[in-house]
Amino acid sequence: VAPVWRARPALSRARVPLALQGPPPPVPGEEEEDPEDKLNAAYRLLGVTQDAGYDEVTDAHIELTERYSDDPARVQRLDDAKDLVVAEQLRRRMAGELRPVVTESPWDKKPVQREMPWVPVVEFLQKFIRPPGFGHFKTVSPMFTILLAMPWFAPSVVGSVTLLSCVAGFAFTYNRGQADVPKDEWGQVGEIRPYKRKPMLITIACCTITYTIATVLAKRVVGGMVGAQRGFDAIVKSSFLCLGLFFQALIVDVHAV
């Protein structure tokens, strides 16, 4: 009798790779671990928080594996925990649940904020011009009142009055808002303060502009007169200069800019 040949299966179950067989069936009576609890345990094992970045997780994993290098089982648990945490972070990043730490990229071109040309001028004037207090007005007004009246009663001193007006205007403008200089029991100045470069230059510029405006106005006023006496233009110039320096000393604050 001829032997009967039976068909042999091409691939038995014993030879199927484990990766193709799927997960093993659950053991009866054993509960499957919650993925969230497993993830929390991985965070605790690595000693990082749930908002830790990739670099922080990697550094913690390297530090712990080096510390427990003589315990292969613990190193394996650390590797599994790190893989689980990184996979969760990747999933959250792909889902859009994670946001970058930086609010803007350093490579993005920032928009140019355009400013109107008069804005810095207005800000400068708001600091440069300040209404005077009554104390400052009471200090400045007597000196300039005397200097304003002297040339009209004694025309021969108009040159000295012009020089004193410039000195007084410079001093009142520069020293506005500054503390009083300490003096000793005999009234002598007990402190010499070094000057500040920027306020000094601004004061010189203000006095120069005021002097120039007073000179131009005096020439225009006297030039339009008929039969003006000799030296009258100097008196008018001194008066305009006193008025200009008086208002300059009242409203200008050179130390605020």
Q: What is the pLDDT along the chain (257 residues), one digit of tens a residue?
A: 455 455 454 444 444 444 344 445 555 555 566 778 888 888 888 888 877 878 888 888 888 888 888 888 888 888 888 888 888 888 887 877 766 555 666 677 777 778 788 888 888 888 888 888 888 899 899 999 999 999 999 888 999 999 999 999 999 999 888 877 777 777 777 677 788 899 999 999 999 999 999 999 998 888 877 667 777 888 999 999 999 999 999 999 998 87
What is the reported pLDDT for 6?
53
The 3-state secondary structure of 59-116 reads HHHHHHHHHCCCCHHHHHHHHHHHHHHHHHHHHHHHCCCCCCCCCCCCCCCCCCCCCC
Residue 188 in domain: no
* Of the candidates 81, 56, 79, the residue with the CA atom closest to the CA atom of residue 66: 79
Last residue of a domain, one of 70, 101, 132: 101
CA pair distance 8, 148, nearest whole angstrom: 129
Asked if 237 and 151 sit in the same domain, the reply is: yes
Asked if 95 and 47 sit in the same domain, the reply is: yes
Asked if 87 and 160 sit in the same domain, the reply is: no
Residue 18 in domain: no
**Residues composing the chain:** 257
The contacts of residue 125 (CB under 8 Å, 6+ apart) are none
Asked if 90 and 129 sit in the same domain, the reply is: no
Q: What does pTM read for this prediction?
A: 0.53
Structure tokens at 170: 């410079």
Asked if 43 and 168 sit in the same domain, the reply is: no
Residue 206 in domain: yes
Q: Domain containing 69: what range?
A: 33-101
What is the reported pLDDT for 75?
87
Identify whether the C-beta of residue 245 lies closer than 8 Å to the C-beta of residue 169: yes
Residue 215 in domain: yes
Q: How many domains would you assign to the chain?
A: 2
What is the reported pLDDT for 240?
94
Asked if 127 and 226 sit in the same domain, the reply is: yes
CA pair distance 20, 15, nearest whole angstrom: 11
Alpha-carbon dihedral of residues 153, 156, 158, 160, nearest 10 degrees?
Answer: -120
Long-range contacts of 48-54 (CB under 8 A, 24+ apart): 48/85, 53/101, 54/86, 54/89
Asked if 124 and 95 sit in the same domain, the reply is: no
Task: Check residue 186 and report its DSSP letter.
Answer: T
The contacts of residue 40 (CB under 8 Å, 6+ apart) are none
Task: Check residue 183 and report its DSSP letter.
Answer: B
Residue 201 in domain: yes
Which residue in the block uniquely carries the two structure tokens 């648990």? 77
**pLDDT tens sequence across 100-137:** 555 666 677 777 778 788 888 888 888 888 888 888 89
Asked if 124 and 97 sit in the same domain, the reply is: no
What is the reported pLDDT for 105?
63
What is the reported pLDDT for 168?
93
